[in-house]
Amino acid sequence: MAVYSAAAAVLAGVESRQGSLKGLVYASNFQNVKQLYALVCETQRYSAVLDAVIANAGLLRAEKKLRPHLAKVLVYDLLLGRGFRGRGGRWKPLLERHQARLKAELARLKVRQGVSRNEDLLEVGSKPGSASQVPRFVRVNTLKTCAEDAIDYFKRQGFSYQGRASGLDDIRALKGKCFLLDPLLPELLVFPAQTDLHDHPLYQAGHLILQDKASCLPAMLLAPPPGSHVIDACAAPGNKTSHLAALLKNQGKIFAFDQDAKRLASMATLLARAGVSCCELAEQDFLTVSPSDQRYCQVQYILLDPSCSGSGMPSRQLEEPKAGMPSPERLRALAAFQQRALSHALTFPALRRLVYSTCSVCQEENEDVVHAALQQSLGAFRLAAVLPSWPHRGLGAFPGAEHCLRASPETTLTGGFFIAVLERVEVPSSVSQAEAADSELTPSPAPKGKKRRRKAAATPGT
């Protein structure tokens, strides 16, 4: 029905800051302005709830032609509004095919939040509670130990290993001294939200890295094989750099840049503790690094995680729950820098694969930046289709944006994050490790914690 398409267009316009909600409603030329305004307002009010339900139900994965904003309007009306009474048109049978799953996900969300009414979800969503429930993710540093040995160490300390998680529900159920292996990343352990491991001997010795799951995805998806030359363009504080070094097995070279001398000094300490020996640190603005410099002629992989608003960071949500979104002026300035950095990175002559990531939830810093850089590359690069079963995809800002990944406390139990993987169109015929990351990763059997212990994990002081 026309009202759904009109409402989706208004929502998209509001999110991309094309105008005010009222202004866009009146500019839509839709005949029943009052009806359209009410539908958009209510859909926007329940936006976080609808995002979670749609992602957890896998609606956009199942219905490839259904755009995110239209899906949100339709699901609102189906679950929270009039229920398609007298309207729905060609979308009605499509949504009704998924009705049972959508209703089940809404019910599950209410159970998790401890509420009984739909309206109560708004009160929960206005508080930082969801951010406080993000679990403690711990990446095992494979330069010093392995997952099996780390698991054995925790078991000897009285923790209960629950095996590999089968999904988000297993992770949500974690309590006390129980922990799991992440279902996607084979070196990522998952503990209950309030677990504090800063004083743990394995962390102090650099065998463990306290790193959110979403923050682990960029290096994993870049997937440089050992021996590669890699640029980490905006590297501090260094967690992603240490992850890249682990993937490289310290074989090859990482050129890590950052402008902040204090952050670089802290990063050098972190990398030394993690056993990283293949990294060359430089106090330099990445925008001033020349792609024609012979030192970088073999760089085929770039990780670009530039300065951003930090609007997706759980710690920011908890510490500044009323901070809201950054101002339009700050967003424009950040996006301009991010676009310059991404376009600059794409000019390195040997580049084959690049991962762009932010801890922002703002379209201006994410999909808009990627779209502009792709247009500027004149067809030399394209978005790689990665992790097809990841539940939270990019906003439908341009064709192909669904290949981007998003993350949030509600949909993925992580901090808010954005990731895009760009690959050169003229890919060599040989199959690389990075190409393997384009398809869903097949997890190896979950460690049982009974294998030979490496000395490094048993003696964390070394």
Q: Residue 71 annotated as binding?
A: no
Q: Residue holding tokens 């901070």?
A: 323
146 is catalytic: no
Q: Residue 240 annotated as binding?
A: yes
Q: Residue 110 annotated as binding?
A: no
- 120 CB-near residues (< 8 Å, 6+ apart): 110, 113
Q: Residue 305 annotated as binding?
A: yes
Q: Residue 285 annotated as binding?
A: yes
Q: Are 251 and 225 in contact (CB under 8 A)?
A: no
- 23 CB-near residues (< 8 Å, 6+ apart): none
DSSP codes, 44-81: HHTHHHHHHHHHHHTHHHH-TTS-HHHHHHHHIIIIIS
Distance, in Å, from the CA atom of 429 to the CA atom of 85, rounded to the nearest integer, reads: 54
End-to-end CA distance of the chain: 67
CA nearest 264: which of 247, 288, 286?
A: 286
Q: Determine which one of 146, 216, 279, 359 is catalytic.
A: 359
Count of Cβ atoms closer than 10 Å to residue 462 Cβ: 10
Q: Residue 146 annotated as binding?
A: no
Count of Cβ atoms closer than 10 Å to residue 428 Cβ: 10
Count of Cβ atoms closer than 10 Å to residue 131 Cβ: 22
Q: Residue 235 annotated as binding?
A: yes
Q: Residue 274 annotated as binding?
A: no
Count of Cβ atoms closer than 10 Å to residue 454 Cβ: 16
59, 65, 67, 68 alpha-carbon torsion, rounded to 10°: 20
Q: Residue 258 annotated as binding?
A: yes
Distance, in Å, from the CA atom of 393 to the CA atom of 383, rounded to the nearest integer, reads: 13
CA nearest 302: which of 351, 235, 238?
A: 351
Rg (CA), the chain: 23
Residue ranges of the annotated binding site for S-adenosyl-L-methionine are 234-240, 258, 285, 305
Tell me the catalytic residues.
359
Annotated binding-site members: 234-240, 258, 285, 305
